[in-house]
């Protein structure tokens, strides 16, 4: 009986060991990558596209049924996060801060790669951006806020009062807004800050800038990016130009930005994911990545510039990409 029992235990340990080993040695076609995107708008869509291109170039596949969009609702993020964890995803790609926070709260084991998160440390996703020490890593979309405020000064040299508009309930937006206020004051601007909490607030809050500011600055804010038509309808009526955090917001009526390429951001995150899936690195020791300055570009909405009678300085004409 002892010999039989020993054999059974040995077999069980052997099977257990084989099971664990096979989990780490799946065929690429068997690897399950879950995607959660906070809201649909051009920048986040581009981040997903770049990520997909990068991981599929490495031989992995993304099943459409594992791609989930929360439609800007944090409650949806919680539901989707639970679903992706319960489906035993091998890796989860979380696009934007609310999506990343929802997933990080559901699992401490599944590797999570994030993008379109400005400061993962402030968002409590990692212990530090240089050494996450959690199951989360990724690519930050921190934009050159200082350069964006300097751009506002160059395009509107007579401006004195600048409105700062952002979603007060999104940590990455608040983080950028604080930088913007500091940089605006350094340039001699007086700032008027206003926050929104959902899409129902956008028009009324934006309308309240009328007659109080010469220009408005909006960082890379997911809620406002998704509601740019409403913002621009209000600011155009009030004759207020808007400097924005990324180029897709320029496409939808913002005057200008000096911003990052979200497709390139997705590729950067995709490279991190591939490295994790292939066992070369772990999220715990993989620093948060940032795009290079060369990945930023100056975008100006030509129609909006003409609407507000803004002349483009000669030094900017050499680098501008008109939209």
Per-residue exposure over 245-263, b if at least 16 CB sit within 10 Å of its own CB, e if not? bbbbbbebbbbbbbbbbbb
Judged on CB neighbours under 10 Å (0-12, 13-18, 19+), 49 is middle
Give the span between the Cα atoms of 136 and 314, in whole angstroms: 44
Give the span between the Cα atoms of 194 and 167, in whole angstroms: 9
pLDDT in tens, 301-313: 999 999 999 999 9
Give the span between the Cα atoms of 217 and 153, in whole angstroms: 12
Contact, 295 vs 260, CB < 8 A? Answer: yes
Give the span between the Cα atoms of 78 and 167, in whole angstroms: 19
Q: Average per-residue pLDDT in the chain?
A: 92
Confidence label for 296 from pLDDT (cuts 50, 70 and 90): confident
Per-residue exposure over 171-198, b if at least 16 CB sit within 10 Å of its own CB, e if not? bbbbbbbebbbebbeeeebebebbbbee
Mean pLDDT of 219-241: 96
Is 277 strand, coil or helix? helix
Higher pLDDT among residues 145 and 25, named by residue = 145
Name the pTM for this structure.
0.79
Contact, 148 vs 259, CB < 8 A? Answer: yes
Give the span between the Cα atoms of 257 and 296, in whole angstroms: 10
Confidence (pLDDT) at 294: 74
Domains in the chain (CATH in brackets) are 33-141+261-291 (3.40.50.2300), 145-260+296-322 (3.40.50.2300)
pLDDT in tens, 168-216: 998 889 999 999 999 999 999 999 999 999 999 999 999 999 999 999 9
Two tokens, residue 100: 């990343």
Mean pLDDT of 285-305: 92
Place of tokens 């390429």: 261
Contacts of 196 by beta carbon, 8 Å cutoff, 6+ apart? 165, 166, 167, 168, 202, 205, 223, 224
Confidence (pLDDT) at 25: 65
Is 117 strand, coil or helix? strand
**Least confident piece of the model among 14-23, 70-79, 269-278:** 14-23
pLDDT at 235 over 80: yes
pLDDT at 11 over 60: no
Number of H helices, E strands in the chain: 13, 13
Confidence (pLDDT) at 304: 98
Contact, 126 vs 281, CB < 8 A? Answer: no
Contact, 265 vs 291, CB < 8 A? Answer: yes
Give the span between the Cα atoms of 270 and 273, in whole angstroms: 5
pLDDT at 4 over 60: no
Q: How is residue 308 annotated by DSSP?
A: T
């Amino acid at each position: 009986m002892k010999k039989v029992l020993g054999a059974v235990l040995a077999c069980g340990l052997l099977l257990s060991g084989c099971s664990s080993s096979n989990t780490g040695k799946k065929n690429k076609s068997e690897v399950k990558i879950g995607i959660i995107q906070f809201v649909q708008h051009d920048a986040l869509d581009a981040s997903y596209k770049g990520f997909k291109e990068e991981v599929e170039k490495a031989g992995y596949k993304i099943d459409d049924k594992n791609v989930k969009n929360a439609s800007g609702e944090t409650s949806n993020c919680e539901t989707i996060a639970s679903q992706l964890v319960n489906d035993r995803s091998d890796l989860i790609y979380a696009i934007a801060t609310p999506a990343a926070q929802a997933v990080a709260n559901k699992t401490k084991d599944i590797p999570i790669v994030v993008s379109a998160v400005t400061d993962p440390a402030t968002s409590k996703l990692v212990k530090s951006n240089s050494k996450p020490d959690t199951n989360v890593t990724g690519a930050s979309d921190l934009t050159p806020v200082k350069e964006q405020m300097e751009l506002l000064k160059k395009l509107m040299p007579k401006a004195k009062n600048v409105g700062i508009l952002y979603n007060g309930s999104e940590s990455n937006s608040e983080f950028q807004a604080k930088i913007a206020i500091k940089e605006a004051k350094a340039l001699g601007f007086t700032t008027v800050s206003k926050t929104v909490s959902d899409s129902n607030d956008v028009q009324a809050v934006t309308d309240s800038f009328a007659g109080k500011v010469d220009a408005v600055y909006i960082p890379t804010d997911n809620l406002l990016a998704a509601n740019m038509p409403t913002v621009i309808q209000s600011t155009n009526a009030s004759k207020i130009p808007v400097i924005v955090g990324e180029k897709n917001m320029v496409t939808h009526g913002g005057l200008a930005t000096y911003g990052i390429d979200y497709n390139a951001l997705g590729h950067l995150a995709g490279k991190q994911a591939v490295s994790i899936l292939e066992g070369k690195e772990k999220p715990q020791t993989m620093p948060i990545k940032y795009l290079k300055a060369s990945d930023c570009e100056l975008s100006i909405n030509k129609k909006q510039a003409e609407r507000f009678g803004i002349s483009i300085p000669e030094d900017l004409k050499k680098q501008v990409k008109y939209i």
